[in-house]
Structure 1
């Protein structure tokens, strides 16, 4: 049972792949086409409805969403709105594809468009040559030079359509030869030879058209690149100028920031490390002096600062007394340091004034 189901699935997948390939080939054949420049587009009356599909689909989804939300609430209405959105999108895509295919079929029937399906019986060389002709013509058509109207009224569509008509003729002749050969008689050989000669002449003509169009496409592409070069250089120069301006702006902001930081650094009064070292040394010295006084080593009597009381009777008071003495020593050291600085500055000023008087 499992083998049968697996075989059925494989056959279904092969069928889907074959249908997809057929659709792809049909799309490619319709895409490669030639347009009759002497006719108006008969499929325009069908394709004019294509732009209206999206607004109509949006209106339908909004209407369904409002109706479902008001009737069943936000949760159920939201689910139904999403479902309706998917259905409308799929239906819109199918309808747009149907309109496009119907318009293309109508154009072919009216003779406005010639595609590869119209000369299906033509020799392979002619089909390949026509594909290259379409490609070269499209390259010329989408080029900058042609879009800017530099070539004027270029009979490009007329040339391609004439080549497509030649391909149709070769297809009809080749189909006639194919149908006649199985039952051909001696008298039919001359006709078959004439038909083969015509097919050969059409092939040579289309090959020459393809070569000419290829050279024209190359020249047009080269001209389009030349036209775009000044704009490209202008865009590059503009980008370089913008980058230069941005760099200058960054430099200006960085310089302003650095100047502000420099001014702030000059405004701040620096702290001398020597002052901190001197104060710490003075505190340490005072602490050592008080410790020696309070200890009374070997009965020696050491004078202590007048404001520090004796601590012989109370050993627990050694710590606070030492701290007070250290603070006193630090203050005195700071005063001495500050007084020395002032005296040194005064002496330098007097020497400078005396030197100025002698020079005067």
Structure 2
């Protein structure tokens, strides 16, 4: 064995020793590549990290905006959602789930959930599971069928997709067409169906310049549909856009109080769960107005002419009945009632309040 390297190994001894030392310092030095591989290791690693970062960023933006990518899976027995906002109510209970890697305690709660598929199909799921640590939400075939829909896989050339449809008077009506991402797996963008009312308020400053009057508009939406709206010319002259917005918020807050009391009356009558209504979210696009309503009435040079009663929204926030949040003007549905809009924004906002063209429903 003394002359082993010289007789039995074609690689020079000093290179073999160098190779063995490299294994001690960097175990990945012996990593086997695919024969057709040709590229730089560092660039590939950066590409993978960048791709993962972008994927996480997209997921975060989707979750923040009330949207999520859901995988429709024929193999899962229950729908698993990773966003708590999809649930109307939750019962907290830790449970195990069986995956390919084994059993893991990923389930934190279960409850009644609502999701909205890309073309507006609303699915109500009685026993959805809540798993915030899941990478993707899963929608089971069972829950689609429990909503009265039929499921059929279709193929067109090399493409495969899933059709969700109903049979009405012998005619097949397709509600959703979901593309495939693998055998038995289909993916779709789902939207949040609000479990409580959302309010959008806005003011059109000096919409009537002849009489120095502004326009007030607000709209209440629930489940992606407008349930109450109001717009009219303000009865007093607003000296600034901030003043006009405070008047609009005051009117929306008054309507919110009535709407919450009406909901408390309807729930027990319809056999629904009785309890305190969740906080009503009131959206406004004027940052100065939001800051003033958060701090309450402050007698200063810029606000001393505004009557304290118009800061009623501040009292509701302190009581936890409403929460005022800022929204981009292009996302404020109340803009439909207070100003002229570009065509693209107009179409987006009428879709948000549940208006559909007849040809889109056929």
TM bucket normalised to smaller: under 0.3
Give the TM-score of the pair, scaled to structure 1. 0.21
Q: Comparing both chains, which one has the higher relative contact order based on Cα–Cα distances under 8 Å and sequence gaps of 6 or more?
A: 1
Q: TM-score, normalised by structure 2?
A: 0.21
Bigger fraction of residues in helix: 1
Based on CA coordinates, which of the two structures has the bigger radius of gyration? 1
